Amino acid sequence: MRATASNARIKWMGGIFRMDADKENSKERFHIGIDLGGTKIEGIVLDHQYRECRRIRMETRASDGYLPVLQRIIEMHSQLAAVVLGEEATLGICTPGSISKTTGLLKNCNATELNGHPLQADLRQRLGRPFAMENDANCFAMAEALQGAGSGHGCVLGLVLGTGVGAGIVVDGRVWSGRHGIAGEWGHMSIDPGGPACYCGRQGCVERYLSGTALEASYRQSTGQSADVARVVEMARHGDGAAVELLDRFLSQFAGAVANVVAVLDPDVIVIGGGLASMDELYEEGALRLQRMVFNDDFHTPVLRNRLGNSAGVIGAAMVGV
Ligand SMILES: [Zn+2]
């Protein structure tokens, strides 16, 4: 749970109306965000109204190992902090995996060289300042909720369909992390106990059906040929039998898996990010099937394409900062 400008309330204080502490502080603060990705580290400085002041990118080069990457994050922070020298600034860091609340070590990071290292503790020691650390799905949901397709909605469900599958939940401008920090771990919700094995130890996880990797693997399995997601979708649109069948199954699995989350969360809007977000079928046939599967006589939750694209991670990082 983190304070943001959108949580501000107006209070009556001694003869004048004034904003509460959250809002008052955000007026004077800049927001630094750092997005640690598998291929690049991106940094941003936003002003108090979340307008971009500076953006910097550098290569992650995860294959160099943990310590050089740690050093690059420190260097990125130094460059961004220099932009707002003398001013107060929050700091948020977006990671591809998450920090285990039990061990404090980074886990489930696709830049696997970084897994098993105490990234949060090492940064705390080296930066010597408070910061927030959130996984990329939560940062995506936060950015889209405050400045993107979910803006103006109370409860935003952000679904990331890419190489893997994740989700983030933002309620009234705050990331909903849950007791163990696993809220939104939708990718590892099993939708078929007899389904394919997942690296998480379960079988039939959503990620095994709705990721780009899974779709490509299914195509390979059924045709013996390789094609990326864009090509499979293109072939389905042109009536290619195997691709049509795969896309049809994919959309039904999408609708079924999202309906499970809707049954618990009943969000005001669903925003889709990741490489598969460009698939028009998700917002048309996918949304229609979702509507039919939700257990209610009326369902009109919008299913929207993200607006911030690849910038959502770094903007979200800046927005969750402390
Ligand atoms: Zn799994």
**Per-residue pLDDT tens digits for 3-51:** 333 333 333 333 333 334 444 445 689 999 999 998 899 999 999 999 9
In 3-state terms, what secondary structure has residue 247? helix
Q: How many CB atoms lie within 10 A of CB 239?
A: 8
Q: How many CB atoms lie within 10 A of CB 162?
A: 19
The two three-digit tokens of residue 284, written as one number:
């048309």
> How far does residue 203's CA lie from ligand 1's centre (Å)?
7
> How far does residue 211's CA lie from ligand 1's centre (Å)?
12
Least Cα distance to 45 among 102, 88, 98 occurs for 88
pLDDT tens per residue across span 268-297: 999 999 999 999 999 999 999 999 999 888
> How far does residue 208's CA lie from ligand 1's centre (Å)?
7
> How far does residue 244's CA lie from ligand 1's centre (Å)?
26
Class of domain 29-141+312-320: alpha beta
> How far does residue 147's CA lie from ligand 1's centre (Å)?
31
pLDDT of 230 over the 80 cut:
yes
For 89-101, the DSSP string reads EEEEEEESSEE-T
Alpha-carbon distance 15 to 225, whole Å? 73
> How far does residue 269's CA lie from ligand 1's centre (Å)?
25
The answer for residues whose C-beta is within 8 angstroms of residue 116's C-beta and 6 or more apart is 105, 106, 107
Q: Where in the chain is the domain with CATH 3.30.420.40?
A: 29-141+312-320, 154-306
> How far does residue 98's CA lie from ligand 1's centre (Å)?
15
Least Cα distance to 271 among 314, 305, 225, 224 occurs for 305
Q: What is the structure's pLDDT at 264?
A: 95
Positive or negative: CA dihedral 257, 186, 142, 230: negative
pLDDT band at 90 (very low <50, low <70, confident <90, very high): very high
φ/ψ (deg, to 5) at 220: -60, -40
> How far does residue 204's CA lie from ligand 1's centre (Å)?
7
Alpha-carbon distance 295 to 260, whole Å? 10
Q: What is the structure's pLDDT at 27?
A: 61
Q: How many CB atoms lie within 10 A of CB 128?
A: 7
> How far does residue 164's CA lie from ligand 1's centre (Å)?
10
> How far does residue 294's CA lie from ligand 1's centre (Å)?
24
> How far does residue 126's CA lie from ligand 1's centre (Å)?
34
Alpha-carbon distance 287 to 304, whole Å? 9
pLDDT band at 182 (very low <50, low <70, confident <90, very high): confident
> How far does residue 191's CA lie from ligand 1's centre (Å)?
10
> How far does residue 214's CA lie from ligand 1's centre (Å)?
12
> How far does residue 130's CA lie from ligand 1's centre (Å)?
32
> How far does residue 202's CA lie from ligand 1's centre (Å)?
5
> How far does residue 30's CA lie from ligand 1's centre (Å)?
38
> What is the identity of the amino acid at 31?
H
> How far does residue 201's CA lie from ligand 1's centre (Å)?
6
pLDDT tens per residue across span 100-154: 888 999 987 777 888 999 999 999 999 999 999 999 999 999 999 999 999 999 9
> How far does residue 150's CA lie from ligand 1's centre (Å)?
27
CATH architecture for segment(s) 154-306: 2-Layer Sandwich (3.30)
The two three-digit tokens of residue 214, written as one number:
């899974």
> How far does residue 199's CA lie from ligand 1's centre (Å)?
6
For residue 133, the surrounding DSSP H or E stretch is strand 132-135
Q: What is the structure's pLDDT at 75?
A: 98
Tell me which residue has tokens 């502490």.
21
> How far does residue 186's CA lie from ligand 1's centre (Å)?
9
